[in-house]
Structure 1
Amino acid sequence: MAATLLALALALSPAVEQKRMAAEDARQGVVSDGRHLFAIDNATIAKLDPRAGSVLSRWSGDPALFRHMNSCIALKARLVCAASNYPKTPMASSVEWFDTRSMKHVASRSLGPGRGSLTWLDWHDGSWWACFANYDGKGGDAGRDHRSTTIVQYDSRFVEQGAWLLPDSVLERMAPYSSSGGVWGRDGYLYVTGHDRPELYVLKLPEAGSELLHVGTMAIPTNGQAIAWDPNEPRLLWSIERSTRSIVASRVPPVDEQAAARR
């Protein structure tokens, strides 16, 4: 059954690269607020001119406090970032807020230890959606591996509303790592990346149960890590190529609704 699901997933049309630029800080992810790009590293965020690729300003934090910034989203005049203490255990996580104009750190909320390492966070349909990654070996809590990766829905005050596991057909592509990026699309699908494969996994909520449904998989030009939609151009997705420290924009084709219905 898993092989059949994976075969259907691979039938999705690939994303097409539109633009690529160098960015020294592009180690964990990238996000766009519609005016600027922000390249994310463990304890730094660079604000970039999206046309020239030049650095306009850079926030640098204390590595003892900001050990592992994983990803950010742009929400109004703020960057909201998912952070963790990776590779320390027990795994603990926090949400960090930054002002996009001044590039100052303005707020923090500790989520503490619990489900895993917070790798991405999105605001969708009046809720926070968070991925808590688990890994095989280094950086993983005892008794857990990549199969324990969990997507959690919170209300606006971070009170848990629900939680789901990833399907086996996605987990087997991520092993021994986990999900590094995730964003909800305007089409109602959740788009998720792993750690190193050049693939985008399209998921949706189930009618019942606690496991997300795997709608399809599409090839993308970059190898996993954090992703973000462009707020001005529909279906333009920003991602990074860690090996070359590059930021890449790709056009993501619409999901085939007939293929999705067969799930």
Structure 2
Amino acid sequence: MRSLVLLLISFFFATDPVFAQKAHEIQRFQLKEVKQGVAVDATHFYVINNTSLTKHTKTDGKQVAAWRDTTGLLKHLNSGVVLNRKLFCVHSNYPEVPMVSSIEIFDAETLRHIGSHSFGLLPGSATWADFYQGYWWVAFANYSDKASAEGRDNRWTMLVKFNANWERLESWQFPATVLQAFAPKSTSGGTWGKEGLIYCTGHDKPELYVLKLPDRGSTLQHVKTIPTVSEGQAFAIDRSVKSKLILYGITRNDNFVVVSEVK
């Protein structure tokens, strides 16, 4: 009987999805400034800083384009995603309150600023966005170490679903296990991956949290946690690689873009 119990315990931990995968480094590029996140397409990666962007070749990290805000209107670019030759960057006025956010749109070829969508005042600071199955999905962060005037902490962090015309349709809160991992900060990066799963990061920890929409209720479900090489912040899945899960992430203290494979 004791042997059977030990065998079942061993099987449980061997198949526990929380520990089943990890990210393995493939390549890294040290650049002049890497502070907020990275986006990627088939041939280039894009480094996102508070008020500037740079574009680099995936083969050797060579910079081929750059943009910097000269208007003083932008405060805190958070993350980005490349769709149809456009780079959509999520922007907020963090750490100011009340929180206001926008999507800033750039030509992915030249990094020329070509458009903007304002969310205005919503209950949180937009940190990441993705377009999936015909809808926009945007995360609005709240922080426990800098509560808003309304007294919200990071439990108020939410994922909001919009239609293509930016009309709000649904929203979900993040699960308690992931909020505890975020604390005292919130989600900094996220995207949809394969098999209808949502991948997201916090502010600092080298971890990737895999979530899914619930069958019922209003709380996202925590599927598993994947240890990573990069350290929180905004990341990207390289969708040009179909057979593998390739991540582009950053380590902001030493200005590296890190490429890794989850397996």
TM-score strictly above 0.5: yes
**Cα distance, 1:144 vs structure 2:** 0.3
Q: Are residues 1:147 and 2:155 paired?
A: yes
Partner amino acid for 2:190?
Answer: G
CA deviation vs aligned residue, 1:143-183 (integer Å, no higher than 9, x gap): 10111000000000111111000000101111000000001
Partner of 1:252: 262
For the aligned residue pairs, the C-alpha RMSD in angstroms reads: 1.5
TM-score norm. by structure 2 comes to 0.90
Partner of 2:221: 213
Partner of 1:32: 40
Partner of 1:196: 204
Contact kept, 8 Å, 1:70 with 1:84, in 2: the verdict is yes
**Cα distance, 1:210 vs structure 2:** 0.4
When residues 8 and 135 of structure 1 are mapped into structure 2, their CA distance, relative to the original with a 3 A threshold, is farther
Partner of 1:135: 143
SS at match of 1:207: coil
Partner amino acid for 1:100?
Answer: A
Looking at structure 2, the residues matched to 180 and 75 of structure 1 have their Cα atoms a distance apart, in angstroms, of 20
Give 5+ residue unaligned stretches, structure 1: 1-6, 254-263
Partner of 2:5: none
Looking at structure 1, the residues matched to 180 and 211 of structure 2 have their Cα atoms a distance apart, in angstroms, of 15
Partner of 2:19: 11
Larger C-alpha radius of gyration, 1 or 2? 2
**Cα distance, 1:101 vs structure 2:** 1.4
Partner amino acid for 2:194?
Answer: R
Partner amino acid for 1:249?
Answer: V
**Cα distance, 1:103 vs structure 2:** 1.3
When residues 46 and 141 of structure 1 are mapped into structure 2, their CA distance, relative to the original with a 3 A threshold, is farther
**Cα distance, 1:54 vs structure 2:** 1.8
TM-score norm. by structure 1 comes to 0.90
**Cα distance, 1:248 vs structure 2:** 0.8
CA deviation vs aligned residue, 1:48-72 (integer Å, no higher than 9, x gap): 1222212111100136211000000
Contact kept, 8 Å, 1:97 with 1:107, in 2: the verdict is yes
Contact kept, 8 Å, 1:29 with 1:40, in 2: the verdict is yes
Partner amino acid for 2:83?
Answer: L
Looking at structure 1, the residues matched to 93 and 17 of structure 2 have their Cα atoms a distance apart, in angstroms, of 33
Partner of 1:256: none
SS at match of 1:130: strand
Q: Which of 230, 235, 243 pairs up with 1:222?
A: 230
SS at match of 2:19: coil
Looking at structure 1, the residues matched to 84 and 91 of structure 2 have their Cα atoms a distance apart, in angstroms, of 20
**Cα distance, 1:137 vs structure 2:** 3.2
Number of aligned residues: 247
Contact kept, 8 Å, 2:51 with 2:75, in 1: the verdict is yes
The correspondence of residues 17-166 of structure 1 with structure 2, limited to 5 A, is 17-62=25-70, 64-138=72-146, 140-166=148-174
Looking at structure 2, the residues matched to 190 and 154 of structure 1 have their Cα atoms a distance apart, in angstroms, of 16
CA deviation vs aligned residue, 1:175-223 (integer Å, no higher than 9, x gap): 0000000010022100010000000001000011000000010100011
Looking at structure 2, the residues matched to 180 and 65 of structure 1 have their Cα atoms a distance apart, in angstroms, of 21
Partner amino acid for 1:12?
Answer: A
Contact kept, 8 Å, 2:18 with 2:223, in 1: the verdict is no
SS at match of 1:10: helix
Q: Are residues 1:236 and 2:231 paired?
A: no
SS at match of 2:253: helix
Partner amino acid for 2:240?
Answer: N
SS at match of 1:187: helix
**Cα distance, 1:25 vs structure 2:** 3.0
Contact kept, 8 Å, 1:149 with 1:166, in 2: the verdict is yes
User: 224-233 or 135-144, which moves further after superposition?
Assistant: 135-144
SS at match of 2:138: strand
Partner of 2:193: 185
